[in-house]
Structure 1
Amino acid sequence: MKKEILEISRSKLVPLKSIVGYSILAIISGLSGFTFIATINNVISQSISSDSVNLNNYLWIFLGTIIVFFVTRRWLSGGIINLSQNIYWGIRKDVIKLILGAPYRKLQEYKDEVYSTLTSDVGNITSASLLVITFFSSIILIISCLGYMAYLSISLFLVSLAVIVVGVLVYTFRARKGDQQFQEVRELERSFMRTFSSILDGSKEININPNKGIDIYENKLIDIISHGKETNVKAYLRYLNSELVSQLLFYGLITFILVYAGQILDVSIDIVISFVFVLLYLLGPIVNVMTIIPFMSNAVISLKKMNTLKQELENHQFEAQARESNKSKYYNFSTLEIKDYSFSYGENTFSVGPINLEINRNEVVFIYGGNGSGKTTFINTILQLFNLDKGTVTIDNIPLALEQMDLVKSMFSPVFSDFYLFDEFYGIEKVDVNKVNYYLELFELKNKVTIEKNKFSTTDLSTGQRKRLALIYALLEDRPILVLDEWAADQDPYFRKKFYKEIIPKILNNEDKTIIAITHDDSYYHVADKLLKMEFGKLTEINKKMLETIL
């Protein structure tokens, strides 16, 4: 159990100052109760050995211990409530901060683990962090009671200590299997979150074909739930049975002392009664310790999972802050040149590159190609969502060092094919309301959407209309290069024509933007200044003079 306590304290989830302060309060509160029991023992002992006992002598002791118990318990309970909320929300804040600084591919890989951390792990660690204080104070009380028991009778103390050691050994031996079962349940939690996510992400498909949902529920989810429930029950029952065995030994010890201690160990009746009172009081802290252990074990498993997650996601927050002042360094670029860009999903799998491409300011670049040709993968590489296997970037004939590659990312505002539309203008310091209203009218959304309290009044629109809002959002970010992945695919023929014939020219003239767009609208390829074809991961520039022969 010492290892579990060290893991919780080293995690800094509970500040050392709080552990010390609340532990002192818990110890004082516990010792006041212990003093109350000890005083009762003295009164009983004197009552047995003497006919007259002046109880007034103990009145102030009783009142003092009651007041100390009440005050310390009140301070301790209030502090624990405050601490529990700090821990609960603090862990969530730290995990989300970690996610915001994580590499895109790592975040996608560990998405299910992140969900598990924010749900089960946070609760486990929060509960255990609070129980550390109870555990520590219980240990102090156990030591105090053992010392008092030795003072009352060495012989009875040795007998009691032997029984307690046997109980601890039984409990520890059986707990090992319980820890393994808790670990198994934690692994099942990730599978549960993955399956649950598939239900949410595939809700449209499930709505069309309910058999998909029934199949997932009956043949996948129920198995995970049943296995998790059964394993968790077995683990907790193992701890419960161990606790009951220990308590059974304890009650047997009390019975032995009451019935045989006077005869076998030659202990006076007043010492026997006092000793039994202390044993009964000692039972509470011992039960507390045994009850806390499974929660601590669960928390240690969660803590290890969370620490592993932190290491895997590689938080780059410090570097991001360092770049903040330089993020607009290349906004006024003239030429961005990509050299030998290459990316692979792994050995003997699909790869893109090497790609060489020059992008000039205020030009329109269209990319087309068949499904699976590598268009989206290429876009993800130039956006630095995927780490390059190799490749360099030159801006205005100035090569960028490897540690500066993320500065390229700050030059782009993308609208992905699977875009997410934020309803508020996050990351935009000052929203130009006049510009928003201009584009709402240009995109024919003025009668549907307005600006209210720094956000869109609604995002409950058709997919094509929501994509228009996403493009307006990208324009408000005021970055020099727009990246559009199949943006026009969800627009009706009328608005698609308007986009290519009217909107793109206005964006170029009004905003001085560069546009890189993945598109299959071959009727409008002539709008592009540069036309590129992606095939088998290779990018080829098409001569515009040959455009008519291609279409």
Structure 2
Amino acid sequence: MDLWRILRREALRNMQPLLLLAVLAAALNLALLTSLNDALLVLDDPEGLQRLLIVFLLSAFLWRIAQGWMMNAASKRMQAALATLRVDLLRRAVAADLPDAMAVGSSRLAQVAGAELQMLAQAVPTLVISFQSVAAILLCLLYLSTLSGAAVLIVLGFLVVGGILIGRSVIRLELMSETIHEAEGALSERSDHILQTLRECKLNRRRAANALADATSCAESLRKERHRFGAEYSHYFTISELTYYAALAGIIFLLPAVTDTDIATVILAGHAAAFIAYPVITIVASYPSYISAETAARSYLAVEAELKAAPQAVVPGRGSGMDDPFSTIALEGATFRHAGRDGTGSFTVGPVDMTVERGSVVFITGHNGAGKSTLIHMLLGLYPIQRGSLSVDGVTVGPDGLATHRDRFAVVFSDSHVTRQLYGATTLDDGFAEELLDLLEMSDKVAIDGRAFTTVDLSQGQKKRLALIAALLERKPVLVLDEWAADQSPYFRRKFYREIIPWMKARGITVIAVTHDDAYFDAADVQLQVDRGGIRQFIATVPAGGIPAPDLLPVSS
């Protein structure tokens, strides 16, 4: 069972105190039962009733304390385990090969680390109470055996028959739970699509109608599956109730018929059987929570397996990489293959031979889908080289050296997510940040407060400028930009190629930029053109003045 695999690994360490508290609470439950049963035998003895009342009240008080301790301990232990599981999943995602992490997807990771793990948190206290209920049932049966061995056999007989019927229902409930989980995922995907494309839906009624029809179909499927689950759970609960009533009826009707038992024993045995009802109902009522937790655990373990990486603590790299003594970074016969679904539709980049000299400006060009971004990921060490090699100064970068190699780069991807927090920045109190804000013309819109931007609520082009500022504040020797200028105004695009790139080069920063801006190819020292997954041409930079860039007046951006 997947739930128990996770709990044994994270939450059931040193669980003996919890289990002992559960047994103690069950024993105190039995003390309540025996005090009540004993009171039935001394109804004409006021002193005996008073003594048993004290026992009953003391047992109830101690049971309340034990129950509170048990639940608090279970909650504390589970929340600690939950925090560990969430951080471990993030550590696995960071440690995993990028293709594996991207295949899992950020939305699925968020779902597993959020709502689904919360199901585990809710299930553990319920499981502890269920364990307590099982202990209470066993103790009540033990007490019942002191009254009548035949009564125990009758109760156990009905419990076994009921257990078989309940077990069949449980199997059906588990299968339905899997179907519901899949249906919920399908509806969540459709809902997310609609919410992410509200503007497009408003502009195209056919698109909106089709998307809503698809979501409605998924919602209807989910409704039907949940209805089936509810009906089956009602059946499951009814069987459990009938099992209890049948056991109680067996005590009342069968026990006097098969044994020579006095009325007092039948009453006490019936009371004991009735006392079993509450823990039985507790176990039955907790089962849906257990099923949900089992499904969540299975999903969590599946994501772990797909990430193919153990959780690893991330050790901060060098604070400033400008003193890194490397001279060249090279790909030699390097190949990476994107595997399509079911092994079809794959795309291969390579074999590639390229060398980046330190301090140079390299433009990577080519049509969409040619493999430019994949080439960048190979150079960064984010995609594993499947054939050939990645080397620095002629030394191959092996798996153990990838983390150090990646520390050389600051990157602004085409889809970079800009956050207020400057997590990767080094020193911020030497005026460099203010210089960058002025250079990127953002001083009148954003400031730096502590280690964060004051806002990121800006246009797309301005967000890209903030991303560039954040990357430069990492003070790495190599800056990689993927279609950075695509979101900029004509004025600022010209400034980027004619002022900002020379400014970076003058400070010894190696610039590698993916670009389509052919009017500014002369800003590079080297241009590499990617075509159909390989570097088909190695083109020297267009001589200065060979492709004139238009003179543009500054405009608002």
TM-score by length of 1: 0.90
Q: Is the 8 A contact 2:38 2:52 kept in 1?
A: no
Instruction: Between 523-532 and 295-304, report the one with greater CA deviation.
Output: 295-304
Query: 1:116 maps to what in 2?
Result: 111
Write out aligned runs for 1:465-504 (5 A): 465-504=462-501
Compared with structure 1, are the counterparts of its residues 52 and 261 closer, same or farther at alpha carbon in structure 2 (3 Å cutoff)? farther
Q: Is the 8 A contact 2:155 2:251 kept in 1?
A: no
Instruction: Between 79-88 and 66-75, report the one with greater CA deviation.
Output: 79-88
Which one of the candidate residues 198, 213, 221 is aligned to 1:227?
221
Compared with structure 1, are the counterparts of its residues 550 and 4 closer, same or farther at alpha carbon in structure 2 (3 Å cutoff)? closer
Tell me how far 1:182 sits from its aligned partner: 0.9
Query: 1:462 maps to what in 2?
Result: 459
Q: Is the 8 A contact 1:327 1:410 kept in 2?
A: no
Instruction: Between 406-415 and 495-504, report the one with greater CA deviation.
Output: 406-415
State the distance in 1 between where 2:246 and 2:313 align.
Answer: 63
Which one of the candidate residues 330, 335, 354 is aligned to 2:328?
335
Query: 2:90 maps to what in 1?
Result: 96
Compared with structure 1, are the counterparts of its residues 53 and 5 closer, same or farther at alpha carbon in structure 2 (3 Å cutoff)? farther
Q: Is the 8 A contact 1:482 1:514 kept in 2?
A: yes
- CA offsets 1:380-409 (integer angstroms, 9 cap, x no match): 221233222212123223333343244332
Q: Is the 8 A contact 2:154 2:250 kept in 1?
A: no
Query: 1:280 maps to what in 2?
Result: 274
Query: 2:162 maps to what in 1?
Result: 167
State the distance in 1 between where 2:415 and 2:377 align.
Answer: 13
Residue 147, structure 1, aligned to residue 142, structure 2: yes
Q: Is the 8 A contact 1:178 1:234 kept in 2?
A: no
Compared with structure 1, are the counterparts of its residues 544 and 261 closer, same or farther at alpha carbon in structure 2 (3 Å cutoff)? closer
Amino acid at match of 1:27: V
State the distance in 2 between where 1:235 and 1:330 align.
Answer: 63
Residue 379, structure 1, aligned to residue 376, structure 2: yes
Compared with structure 1, are the counterparts of its residues 487 and 231 closer, same or farther at alpha carbon in structure 2 (3 Å cutoff)? same
Query: 1:304 maps to what in 2?
Result: 298
Residue 530, structure 1, aligned to residue 526, structure 2: yes
Structure 1 residue runs of 4 or more that deviate by more than 6 Å after TM superposition: 50-53, 545-551
State the distance in 1 between where 2:310 and 2:236 align.
Answer: 46
The alignment-based identity, stated in percent, is: 26
Query: 1:178 maps to what in 2?
Result: 173
Residue 189, structure 1, aligned to residue 189, structure 2: no
Amino acid at match of 2:181: R
Q: Which runs of 5+ in 2 are unaligned?
A: 549-557
SS at match of 2:431: helix
Q: Is the 8 A contact 1:425 1:431 kept in 2?
A: no
Tell me how far 1:274 sits from its aligned partner: 0.7
Query: 1:241 maps to what in 2?
Result: 235
Compared with structure 1, are the counterparts of its residues 291 and 7 closer, same or farther at alpha carbon in structure 2 (3 Å cutoff)? farther
Q: Is the 8 A contact 1:116 1:193 kept in 2?
A: no
State the distance in 1 between where 2:511 and 2:231 align.
Answer: 63
Query: 1:157 maps to what in 2?
Result: 152
- CA offsets 1:233-286 (integer angstroms, 9 cap, x no match): 323432331221231232133234335643553311111111111111101111
Q: Is the 8 A contact 1:531 1:543 kept in 2?
A: yes
Query: 1:68 maps to what in 2?
Result: 62
Compared with structure 1, are the counterparts of its residues 123 and 226 closer, same or farther at alpha carbon in structure 2 (3 Å cutoff)? farther
State the distance in 2 between where 1:126 and 1:24 align.
Answer: 21
Query: 1:10 maps to what in 2?
Result: 8
SS at match of 1:458: coil
Tell me how far 1:31 sits from its aligned partner: 1.9
State the distance in 2 between where 1:53 and 1:268 align.
Answer: 25
Which one of the candidate residues 417, 422, 439 is aligned to 2:419?
422
- CA offsets 1:287-330 (integer angstroms, 9 cap, x no match): 12222233223322321221121121123554854x84799598
Matched residues, number: 542
SS at match of 2:244: helix
Amino acid at match of 2:8: R
Amino acid at match of 1:337: A
Compared with structure 1, are the counterparts of its residues 103 and 225 closer, same or farther at alpha carbon in structure 2 (3 Å cutoff)? farther
- CA offsets 1:343-399 (integer angstroms, 9 cap, x no match): 222366332221111111111111222222222221222123322221212322333
Compared with structure 1, are the counterparts of its residues 6 and 96 closer, same or farther at alpha carbon in structure 2 (3 Å cutoff)? closer
Tell me how far 1:210 sits from its aligned partner: 5.3
Tell me how far 1:88 sits from its aligned partner: 4.1
Tell me how far 1:513 sits from its aligned partner: 0.4
State the distance in 1 between where 2:364 and 2:81 align.
Answer: 49
Tell me how far 1:416 sits from its aligned partner: 1.6
Amino acid at match of 2:102: Q
Query: 2:337 maps to what in 1?
Result: 344
Q: Is the 8 A contact 1:415 1:485 kept in 2?
A: yes
- CA offsets 1:410-465 (integer angstroms, 9 cap, x no match): 22212122221121101224324511111111111111111112211111222111
Amino acid at match of 1:513: I
Write out aligned runs for 1:395-414 (5 A): 395-414=392-411
Amino acid at match of 2:330: E
Amino acid at match of 1:130: P
Compared with structure 1, are the counterparts of its residues 546 and 508 closer, same or farther at alpha carbon in structure 2 (3 Å cutoff)? closer
State the distance in 1 between where 2:222 and 2:345 align.
Answer: 37
Query: 1:136 maps to what in 2?
Result: 131
TM-score by length of 2: 0.89
Instruction: Between 468-477 and 427-436, report the one with greater CA deviation.
Output: 427-436
Compared with structure 1, are the counterparts of its residues 61 and 442 closer, same or farther at alpha carbon in structure 2 (3 Å cutoff)? same
Amino acid at match of 2:400: E
Tell me how far 1:527 sits from its aligned partner: 1.5
Amino acid at match of 2:184: E
Query: 2:285 maps to what in 1?
Result: 291
Q: Is the 8 A contact 1:330 1:411 kept in 2?
A: no
Amino acid at match of 1:20: Q
Residue 356, structure 1, aligned to residue 349, structure 2: no
SS at match of 1:358: strand
State the distance in 1 between where 2:510 and 2:3 align.
Answer: 57
State the distance in 2 between where 1:427 and 1:207 align.
Answer: 39
State the distance in 1 between where 2:205 and 2:540 align.
Answer: 50
State the distance in 2 between where 1:104 and 1:273 align.
Answer: 69
Amino acid at match of 2:373: T
Measured on the aligned residues, the alpha-carbon RMSD in Å equals 2.7
Compared with structure 1, are the counterparts of its residues 120 and 141 closer, same or farther at alpha carbon in structure 2 (3 Å cutoff)? same
Q: Is the 8 A contact 1:46 1:53 kept in 2?
A: no
SS at match of 1:55: helix
Compared with structure 1, are the counterparts of its residues 54 and 439 closer, same or farther at alpha carbon in structure 2 (3 Å cutoff)? closer
